[in-house]
Chain A
Amino acid sequence: MKLSLNWLSNFIDLKDLSVEQIVDQMVECGFEVEAVDRMSEGTKLIVGKVIECKDHPNSDHLHVTKTDIGSEVLDIVCGAPNCREGLKVIVAQVGAKLPGGEIKASTIRGENSNGMLCSLKELGIDENLLPADSCSHTGIEELDDRFNVGDTDVLKKLGYDDTILDVSIYANRPDCLSMYAMACEMGAILSRKVTLPDFAGKANIGTKSDFKLSSVSKNCPHFLAKVVNNVTIKESPEWMKQHLRANGVKCINNLVDISNYVMLETGQPLHFYDLRSNPSKEITVRDDYEGKYTALDGIEYDIEKGDLMITSDNKPIGIAGIMGGDNTKILDDTTSLIIEAALFDHAQIRRTANRLGLQTEAAARFAKGLEPMAQNKAMDRAVELLIELADAKDFEETVEYGKPDYEPYEIKETLSHLNALIGKEYTMDEAVAVMHRLGFECRVEGDSFITSIPSYRASDLKIPEDIDEEIVRLTDFDDLKSTLPLMPQTVGKLSNIQNIRRVIRDILTGHGFYDTINYTLVNKKYIDESLLPSGSAVEMLSPLSDARRYTRTSLMNSLLETLSYNLDHNNENVDLFEISKIYSDKGEEERLGIIMEGSFISDKVKHLEVKTDFYVLKGLLTQLLDQLGFEMNGRVSVHENELDVRHFHPYQSAVLMMDNKVLGIFGKLHPNYLKSMKLNDVYYAEMMLDVLSDAKPAKIKAPVVSKYPSISRDISLMLKEDVKVADLLSSIRKAGGKLVKNCEVFDVYQGEHIEKGYKSVSLNIVYEDKEKTLKTEDVNEVHDRVLNDLTSRFDAKQR
């Protein structure tokens, strides 16, 4: 909302207030002032007359002038093409501060110049605000007879001395888009008296009308129309043009200007149709029109079913609430018109305006919502101005379709409820004073104060808490004390999944991984190459771009892209993870993605290097699950990857299962898949966190430590290379029974001295009896059983 302080001062005395004071007060009362625009800027300006104008001897376009400013005659060089003798001009004297800088005495190509002859553009006035015939478009401003040599109030006289506040209006205050309502608001903010013109009932004139109004759409609840048979088109008065310009509205002629002016005053968009070109003495609002229609901007728009159209005799004459039509627009010779003041559904106007890309002032106001009495107010004001400024005669009576949705009402609030909600001790006088500042009628009954709500605040003020907000907003609030809620103590704690996330983050960051957050919305390729998606990706109805069209259904491609980005920027040994929800048509799930590349441990000084491989990743996952209470090779089992060998190396990847559900997939990514991304040797794991959070982890149970010594035995076996270590270990545990305390592999060897197709595996077995000291012969007996079992079952030879 553009708020002209000059205009505002017609209603409120602002004389003793600086712009800064006004802005500060507004901010404290909940209005953000986004910009303070001075319409023009310039000090030391004075009206002068060019008494001599010669061509500059050393230039083909400059003029050398003698300009009389009353007190003296100045030598000024001027480059404007319209500079000539006898012209009355705006002179910026030496020392004048203009938007382009300070004016200094100088010599221009050998000629003295002590000042500048100005175009209005050079005084900071927006070109769009200049009248079409202004000389300032191409040269210096030419002043008329109203100006006298030596005048210094030239900007004020021109109407360009205004300050415009760009005020952002919250969605609950569309009333503030009307100058009158804003003036009331400013009166409340500044605690000043507001005097508004009284034009109520001015439209109650005219002869009986046979004009017919109707609507076939429920989205037009109220429509006022009035025929004016005799109007005179001319230029609008200067005061009106100034106010319109200050609001960034182009001045056209008195009729168009009046419709715009009344909209600014009352918030109600008006439309004037040329009565001559209206197909019949009838208007119907329709939402069933389909086809092309040319609006008064000359552009053809595609109108669809649902769009509200103003029609007459079934022919469209305007796009309702957005823009009038080309076929019924006001022309230079218009002599009679139809005034439209109607209410259209805000959501429908917004939809149509968005679809047509036609964001007019009228559409913006309809979309934000009008006050219920706006149509009547605007009609009254329009009639008053048409009589005053367009010599309007021969009115017909106002015809009405529907009625305004407003009955006067009151809100009752109690002082005790107000103070209980806010935690402050307002007095009744303070509360009532705020209501009066707002211009509301308010009466006190015991602990209650009862406020009448005017129509222009009806959309916003409905319940006692709304009244409380007005009081809070308009009184000093900085002295509010700080307390904490008094209520029964509660235990605050993280949920199971929240804890799981923290444990995972702690472990992985401790191992050198970086926590990342990537975008949910991805492109089609991510979706086509998704890892174990649980359903189809969800598509946005109106995506920002194809790159962000779908929800991701796995984390893998986000992490691959992030990895690539880091490698491209010379970051080495990049290990990353992400914990995030993913979405498909089957719903949302939470996953953990882990990506590794390069070396897991690398220290050149110490000649330490552990290259990341399948086993490093597996070890990390084992630790992670351990810390969460799920034992690898216990409750969690490792299986050959048969789920996804498109993205994974078929022989260096595995699937983790828990409680008969897929818990995750991990391993080396398939070289073919990495090729397009120019990546090598990337290891990746994606875990289903919902499976983890749904499962109960093993309870912690203190281990029983044996008091008796254990006995350790090593075995080296020659085996076929496809024998799995896990099978060896389980066979040992089975054959050894409860005496096997621990068994693990300490060497696997293939290569020189080993027959092709075979491998050597060395294992260590620790035997222990929790009840007694083991005798060698006891161990021998068990160990032989273990060995026999291994050799027979796996066709193994002891080395």
Chain B
Amino acid sequence: MLDFEALKNEALKAIGEADEKSLDDLRIEYLSKKGKVQSLMAQMRDLSAEEKPKFGQMVNDLKNAISEAMDKKKEELESALMNARLLSEKVDITLDAYKPRSGNLHPLTLVQKEIEDIFIGMGYNVAEGPELESDLYNFTKANTPEGHPARDMQDTFYVDPSHLLRSQTTAIQMRVLEQQADKLPIKVICPGKVYRRDDDDATHSHQFIQCEGLVVGENITVADLKGTLELMIREMFSKDAKIRFRPSYFPFTEPSFEVDMTCHICHGKGCPTCKGTGWIEILGSGMVHPNVLEMAGIDSKKYTGFAFGVGIERVAMLKYGITDIRDLYTNDIRFLEGFKR
């Protein structure tokens, strides 16, 4: 019996000291058919019939114990090996050794996309129109006939006596009204480039982007206009923004309003951005003038509508703190790369 205990201790000791290679040798030495454990079976012959099963059991137990110890050791050795390998592969996580190139949208494209997505989510379509436009759509149908004083407000780029680079995206609205006069209601936004004969400086650009909105249907009210604009301003600037309407004048809306929002920097407390007033002028709006509806062939007794227009540059400048509008048209990538979203 001593043989068992001694053999077990001897084997476990050897396993404990083994490395990868010697562990395989030990497996042969102890557990192979001619190995030390199996050879114990030779003693079976001398045993009585009652003792034989007991002895067999003991040999089996010894075999299992050594095998288990070997498996365990093997696992330990493999794990150590893996750890060593992993350690040798350690990287410097602070090093940037691969910089995938990424460009980004122009800030004006970014703002336009944001506005488009807000309104698409509310079921609006995005309408477009020609930039080289007839004065019919740019002015006349927008209730601004030849000689109207409002034509004086915007010095425009005419290309012939009746065509111009459009001075306002209102021209798109007028086309939509006409095209959809018999397919009401209308819910569109109209983004696009517009042009005015202004000399370029920090706050003026002869080319800029507007986005106008137009809703025409039954029972559309100023309150609907307010709710819609409030939603847009809150999405774009700040969830707690409030808006207020100030009376204004546009030939194609009646009544007309300038819309102020609470300053997104100071939230209405007053700061340099809002010149201490807490309010920032952000867009123009109003109820579509009955003359405009009638000219498009829409019954102004039955249908009403609202319209608004926002300058994309103005929104971008306010939102991102841009102080010179010309930066938006210089396309210096050191400027452009600041608008990754």
Contact = CB atoms under 8 A, between A and B. Distances in A.
A603 B119 contact: no
Given A518-B329, A540-B157, A171 B149 contact: yes
A569 B332 contact: yes
Q: Which of A485, A512, A606 has the most CB of B within 10 A?
A: A485
A480 B245 contact: yes
Contacts of B270: none
A369 interface: yes
Given A480-B226, A505-B105, A465 B158 contact: no
Given A484-B231, A508-B103, A583-B132, A420 B331 contact: no
Given A347-B146, A606-B97, A484 B228 contact: yes
Interface in B104-128: 104-106, 108-109, 113, 116, 119-126, 128
A511 B193 CA distance: 27
Contacts of B122: 484, 492
A514 B132 CA distance: 27
B120 to A, nearest CB: 4
A483 B221 contact: yes
Given A514-B103, A566-B333, A483 B223 contact: yes
A569 B334 CA distance: 9
Contacts of B287: 421, 465
B218 interface: yes
Contacts of A483: 221, 223-224, 226-227
Interface in A299-355: 345-347, 350
A492 B125 contact: yes
A562 B331 CA distance: 7
Chain B interface residue bracket vs A: 35 or more
Q: Which of B96, B146, B226, B230 has the most CB of A within 10 A?
A: B226
A494 B116 contact: yes
Contacts of B104: 509, 514-515
Contact of B246 (A27, A587, A603, A606): A27
A194 to B, nearest CB: 20
A577 to B, nearest CB: 8
Interface in A441-459: none
Nearest to B102: A512
B123 A490 contact: yes
B159 A30 contact: no
Contacts of B290: 463, 465
B243 to A, nearest CB: 9
Given A483-B223, A518-B329, A489 B244 contact: no
A172 B249 contact: yes
Interface in B244-260: 244-249, 251, 254-256
Q: Which of A463, A493, A517, A587 has the most CB of B within 10 A?
A: A517
A473 interface: yes
A350 B102 contact: no
A538 B126 contact: no
A368 B249 CA distance: 14
Interface in B296-336: 304, 328-334, 336
B67 to A, nearest CB: 41
Interface string A581-608: 1010001100000000000110101101
Nearest to B208: A517
Contact of B332 (A345, A543, A566, A601): A566
A571 interface: yes
Contacts of B159: 538-541
A221 to B, nearest CB: 13
Interface in A519-575: 519-521, 538-544, 548, 551, 562, 565-566, 569, 571, 574-575
Contacts of A544: 197, 199, 206
B53 interface: no
Given A513-B103, A581-B131, A574 B333 contact: yes
B152 A350 contact: yes
A520 B221 contact: no
Contacts of A540: 157-159, 165
Contact of B331 (A423, A494, A514): A514
Interface in B205-239: 206-207, 209, 215, 217-224, 226-228, 230-231
A482 B304 CA distance: 17
A491 interface: yes
A517 B335 CA distance: 13
B272 interface: no
Contact of A541 (B158, B227, B328, B331): B158
Contacts of A703: none
B185 interface: yes
Contacts of A485: 185, 187, 215, 217, 220, 224, 228
13 contacts: A30-B248, A171-B251, A420-B221, A421-B304, A423-B222, A423-B226, A424-B222, A468-B255, A486-B219, A492-B125, A540-B157, A548-B206, A575-B101
Interface of A: 27-30, 170-174, 345-347, 350, 367-369, 420-424, 463, 465-466, 468-469, 472-473, 477-478, 480-495, 498, 502, 505, 508-521, 538-544, 548, 551, 562, 565-566, 569, 571, 574-576, 581, 583, 587-588, 600-601, 603, 605-606, 608
Top 8 A-B pairs, shortest CB-CB distance: A512-B101, A423-B223, A30-B247, A423-B221, A469-B255, A170-B249, A482-B227, A347-B147
